[in-house]
Amino acid sequence: MKKYVNAKQILPQHLIEEIQKYVEGAHLYIPQKGRKSWGSANGSREQLEKRNMEIQFLFRQQGVSIIELAARFGLSEERIRSILYDK
């Protein structure tokens, strides 16, 4: 969750008045510049890619079944299939 900041604490009065021409008395979200891609900040994307590569290896090289992979990784059989066949 993003931190709430009162505009009066950080913005000059003339800028607040300009913003009030468009929105008043509501929460306003201001996005960050140069947003990072999903999972890049905490390593989630890398962990999922590693897991997916392991699933592909176990299926293709070791013959582990889709049912067993689903149980082992706590995923649905449909999700396992999408990991195996969508790439």
Residue 2 in domain = no
What span, in angstroms and rounded, lies between the C-alpha atoms of 24 and 78?
A: 47
Does residue 12 fall inside a structural domain? yes
- Does this model's pTM top 0.85? My answer is no
CB neighbours of 51 closer than 8 A, spacing ≥ 6? 73
Asked if residue 67 belongs to a domain, the reply is: yes
Q: Is there a domain that residue 1 lies in?
A: no
Q: How many domains does the chain have?
A: 1
Query: Do the domain assignments include residue 65?
Result: yes
Range 54-81 average pLDDT: 97
The rounded percent of the chain whose pLDDT value lies above 70 is 97
- In which band, very low, low, confident or very high, does the pLDDT at 69 lie, cut at 50, 70 and 90? very high
pLDDT digits (tens, 9 = 90+) for 15-30: 999 999 988 888 888 8
pLDDT tens readout for residues 32-53:
787 777 777 788 889 999 999 9
Measured CA distances, 52 to 13, 22, 82 (Å): 52, 46, 10
Domain that holds residue 78: 7-32+41-85
